[in-house]
Amino acid sequence: MGRAAIEVGPALFFSLLIITLSFLPVFSLEAQEGKLFSPLAFTKTYAMATAAGLSITLMPVLMGYFIRGHILPEHKNPIRRFLVAIYMPVIEFVLRRPMLTIMASILLVCSMAYPWIHLGSEFMPELNEGDILYMPTTFTGVSVGKAGELLQITDRLIRSIPEVHTVFGKVGRAETATDPAPLTMIETTIQLKPESQWREGMTMDKLKRELNETVKIPGLTNAWVMPIKTRIDMISTGVKTPVGVKISGPDLSQIQKIGQDIENIVKEVPGTLSAFSERVAGGRYIDVDINRTNAARYGLNIMDIQEVISKAVGGMNVTETVEGLERYPVNVRYPRDMRDSVTRLRQLPVVTPMGAHIPLEEVATIKIVDGPGMIKSENARRIGWVFVDIMPEVDLGSYVASAQVVVEEKLQLPPGYSISWSGQYEYMLRAKERLTYVVPLTLTIVLLLLYFNFKNFTESFMVMGAVPLSMVGGLWLIYMLGYNLSVAVGVGFIALVGVAAEFGVVMLVYLDQAYTEKNPKSMRELYEAIIEGAVMRVRPMAMTAAVVIAGLLPIMLGSGTGSEVMRRIAAPMLGGMITAPLVSMVLIPVLYMLWRGRAIRLMEPRPDGAVRAQSSVRGGRQSPHGEPGFGQPGYRGKPSNPFA
């Protein structure tokens, strides 16, 4: 018992340590993706670190207490016998044809090119939060009355959809600096009925399409988004749609012109659901230009005239009313029919110090002028935004790549102006840039840990070289499920790499153990040692893969908020559990045979007593002792070998 624990303990310890360190790229993530996946990384790190410690401390003690009495021999276990009956022809076939096995492995790795080319990319899959946020944008300069009318119309149209439970819309901003929303932005929260009450065949994507077809009002650019995610995006980048284009420059009028050009160009890109450029210089204002000469003639100063305009049009709070726990200001100003047009404003009465009443137009020029609706700046430069919403079936990365090409070809930027692509695309680039240099660093650390375990780089590279092959199943499953490459998928592949490395490490431990016990002097003995070591790993490998698959299936079959992300984490591991065991059970024994067999071929004696340069067993020749070689019809192996 103690000898078995000493043989396997270090390998298990290093395997769990590799799984722990493989999550280093997850810890390097920042902002949204870091906050989302760091709890998963911390939980798995603590669990694996504890398991690594228990594997070399508590587990050997518990084995001594509980593994006692009559123990069924391994070769009599019915499950093992069934697995060996399947595995034995496979291992014999691949050992007879090592180069064919290696070529097949290389072809499998190359097969990943097809799904890789056809897979899209995104920052994170869209979570189904259960509700929808409708955030249309209208042109700058809309009046308060018209904005309220648009809000009522859109609410009635949305409420006509059977799946909608309640609709609550808001236009403008509250009395807070944290929500600088203009009248041009409407926010409508749509609470949906439970999916069990939806029409048959209705999905969230179909529902968004139907809402988009129902709510079609000239001057409104629709955007159907998720509430929580959109709030986070707006706080981070200011862009409420999946893709945004930021135009920076010194002049707002030129920024608006560039934005309108980009809007027209982007609308032609396949996959565009809607595109709208903010009219940053399209605001409408009433300009009151006081004539100082005329004001002085009537004995008025600038403050007197400004006070009349402020209180007559804007109003003045004179007191406050208390309604229970609520307080409301009482505002006094001129009636609406005296201030609802420029003509009426010109006729506002102004009282002179002499008591005379004169119209406001006597001392001021009143006219409507254009100006910026809201001045935004970023990095000390004025900026304008273009909001782009894409179709649900179009992935973010492919769309932005094609849109960038079209915009670059058709848009000519004047000197001093620049554009940048923002929104979720900005997050995706940030995560990709971080993983680009953290993943190779992590793989280097894993290689060093493998070297500390095996004390040679050959076996370390066997494990590392087999990792890409273990990812084949995961990538193909991602492709078949129609998922896009995202941070969640990347986390799943990171977890798969750790498990695949563990499979390889434990397989090499069994092969080294069989090699040490048999100390083969010929190729036939080496083959027998490899078969014995590989067969010993059949049942543990099957149990490990079965446990992982059993744990991942509920995630893949589950539903609810957050299941979209969890499925993309579990899918690479679930697909990898098909190819990762095959790597350790098929490819690693072949590589091990080629490595150990090279030294044996050089030292194997010829019939005349000379040292042989090559083994005569390959290619179906007889062994140097005149016996049938491995794989020949007369070969039966040693009678005492239970694995022959």
Angle CA(174)–CA(180)–CA(181) in degrees, nearest 5? 80
Which one, of 510, 531, 507, 587, lies nearest residue 97 by Cα? 587
Q: What is the pLDDT of residue 9?
A: 59
Q: To the nearest whole percent, how much of the chain has pLDDT over 70?
A: 87
- Rg from Cα positions in the chain: 37
Q: How many CB atoms lie within 10 A of CB 502?
A: 23
Spatial separation of the C-alpha atoms in residues 266 and 24, rounded to whole Å: 39
Regarding beta strands 316-323 and 326-332, do their DSSP bridges make them parallel or antiparallel, or are they unpaired? Answer: antiparallel
What does the pLDDT read at residue 637? 42
Q: Give the mean pLDDT of 436-458.
A: 80
Sequence-ordered list of residues with C-beta below 8 angstroms from that of 240, at least 6 positions apart, any chain: 135, 223, 225, 230, 233, 234, 387
CA 403 to chain centre: 21
- Dihedral of CA 26/30/33/38: which sign? positive
Phi, psi values for residue 341, rounded to 5°:
-155, 165
DSSP characters over 85-116? HHHHHHHHHHHH-HHHHHHHHHHHHHTTHHHH
pTM for the full predicted model: 0.71
Chain center to CA of 644: 49
What are the tens digits of pLDDT across the range 139-170?
776 777 788 888 888 888 888 888 888 888 88
Confidence at residue 620, expressed as pLDDT on a 0 to 100 scale: 37
Please give the structure tokens belonging to residue 356. Answer: 């005379």
Most confident of 52-61, 203-212, 433-442: 203-212
Angle between helices 78-96 and 523-535 (to 10 degrees): 140
Backbone angles phi, psi at 420, to 5 degrees: -145, 145
Query: Mean pLDDT across the stretch 80-86?
Result: 80
Instruction: Say what angle helices 563-582 and 487-518 make with each other, to 10 degrees.
Output: 20
Using DSSP's 3-state secondary structure scheme, residue 386 falls into strand
Please compute the mean of the pLDDT values over residues 408-433 and round it to a whole number. Answer: 83
Q: What string of DSSP letters covers 536-581?
A: TTHHHHHHHHHHHHHHHHHHHH--STTHHHHHHHHHHHHHHHHHHH
pLDDT value for 629: 41
* pLDDT over 70 at 642, yes or no: no
Q: Which residue has the higher pLDDT, 330 or 126?
A: 330
Q: In 411-486, which residue ranges form alpha helices assigned H by DSSP?
A: 424-454, 457-481
pLDDT band at 634 (very low <50, low <70, confident <90, very high): very low
Query: What's the mean pLDDT in 509-523?
Result: 79
Determine the length of the chain: 644
Distance CA 197, CA 206 (A): 15
Mean pLDDT for 251-279 is 84
Higher pLDDT residue, 621 or 249?
Answer: 249
- Mean per-residue pLDDT for 461-477? 82
Is the pLDDT confidence value at 613 over 70? no
What pLDDT is attached to residue 7? 59
Do 604 and 617 touch, CB atoms closer than 8 A? no
pLDDT for residue 615 is more than 70: no
- Separation CA 440–CA 312 (nearest Å): 69
Q: How confident is the model at residue 606 (pLDDT cuts 50, 70, 90)?
A: low
How far apart are alpha carbons 106 and 100 in whole angstroms? 10
Q: Lowest mean pLDDT of 217-221, 409-413, 608-612, 619-623, name the range.
A: 619-623
pLDDT of residue 11: 63
Q: Work out the mean pLDDT of the chain and round it to a whole number.
A: 78
Separation of alpha carbons 36 and 26, rounded Å = 10
Vertex 635: Cα angle to 632 and 639 (nearest 5)? 165
- pLDDT at position 618: 37
pLDDT at 4 exceeding the cut of 50:
yes
Band (pLDDT 50/70/90 cuts) for residue 69 is low
CA distances from 248 to 234, 378, 389 (A): 18, 8, 21
**Looking at the predicted structure, is the pLDDT value of residue 123 above 60?**
yes
Q: What confidence category does residue 625 fall into, taking pLDDT thresholds of 50, 70 and 90?
A: very low
- Highest average pLDDT, of 54-63, 484-493, 533-542, comes from 484-493
Percent of the chain residues past pLDDT 90, beyond the cut: 0
- H/E stretch holding 592: helix 588-603
Q: What is the tens place of the pLDDT at every residue in 330-379?
A: 888 888 888 778 888 888 888 888 888 888 888 888 888 877 777 777 77
Q: For residue 59, is pLDDT > 80?
A: no
Name the pLDDT band for 110 (thresholds 50, 70, 90).
Answer: confident
Tell me the β-bridge partners of 553: none
The answer on pLDDT for 608 being more than 60 is no
Helix (H/G/I), strand (E/B), else coil: 126: coil
